[in-house]
Amino acid sequence: DLDATQDPIPVRPGAHYMIGGVEVDQFGRTSVAGLWAAGEVTSSGLHGANRLASNSLLEGLVYGVRAGQLAGQEAGNCPDQYRVLPISSRRSYRLTESLDIADIRNSVQSLMWRMVGVQRHGDRLSEALAQIQAYSRYVLPHAFDTVEGWELQNLLTISHLMCEAALERTESRGVHMRTDFPETDDTNWRQHLVFEQPSTP
């Protein structure tokens, strides 16, 4: 038993915020026409390379109001009639019965905490990326019909992007600490990293 008046209370770092997300302008517009985003899903650039706990109000409330107002204004320009287009996929999906979604999710979360956590090193980041790519080859071609399956696919996509960005940024800045590159490099790295999906014909 722990006696809080006598015993030291064990503490450890914890992830509370991911600095990055969907790139938006000052009104919450994304690169997809007609799509706005606000809150902690976005990368607005407001907080730089670090954000103090509880400072999410600006992105959530201010950007939420801005995005909502602009989306409302532009919705008035939408046509009254719509055509429903069929959704086609370039993937040939496999069934999902063989996947243990919870087990893979736990493995990915553990991997990211150990390899892409508070202190980062290029070798460990490369190892994490290779493992994420292996999981992705196994998971992404499956057609899920549950939220848990879609969340796992999103988790793998985000984990892949985080590993790529952490490997690419060969410096330490804010909460991104590379033990193999401990100094901040303003000459080469005072900039944002943006990943875009290539457009398809």
Each residue of 42-88: pLDDT tens digit? 988 888 888 877 778 888 899 999 999 999 998 877 777 777 777 66
Task: Identify whether the C-beta of residue 120 lies closer than 8 Å to the C-beta of residue 73.
Answer: no
- pLDDT-derived band of residue 94, with 50, 70 and 90 as boundaries? low
Tokens of 132: 């994420």
Residue 111: the pLDDT is 98
Higher pLDDT, residue 137 or 142: 137
**Domain residue ranges of the chain, discontinuous segments joined by +:** 22-75, 101-184
When comparing pLDDT for 141 and 96, which is higher? 141
pLDDT surpassing 60 at residue 90:
no
Residue 91's pLDDT is 54
CA atoms within 13 A on the CB side of 27: 11
Dihedral of the alpha carbons of 145, 147, 153, 159, in degrees to the nearest 10: 180
Cα-Cα-Cα-Cα dihedral sign, residues 148, 19, 177, 185:
positive
Structure token digits, residue 194: 């943006």
Rounded CA gap, 164 and 168, in Å? 6
Percent of the chain scoring above 70 in pLDDT: 93
Whether the pLDDT of residue 165 is over 70: the answer is yes
Taking each helix axis from N to C terminus, what angle separates 101-115 and 122-139, rounded to the nearest 10 degrees? 170
- For position 95, what pLDDT does the model report? 56
C-alpha 98/C-alpha 81 separation (Å) is 43
For residue 163, the 8-state DSSP code is: H
pLDDT at residue 74, as a whole number: 87
Whole-angstrom distance, CA of residue 93 vs CA of residue 176 = 36
Q: Which CATH architecture has domain 101-184?
A: Up-down Bundle (1.20)
Q: Given this model, what pLDDT does residue 78 score?
A: 72
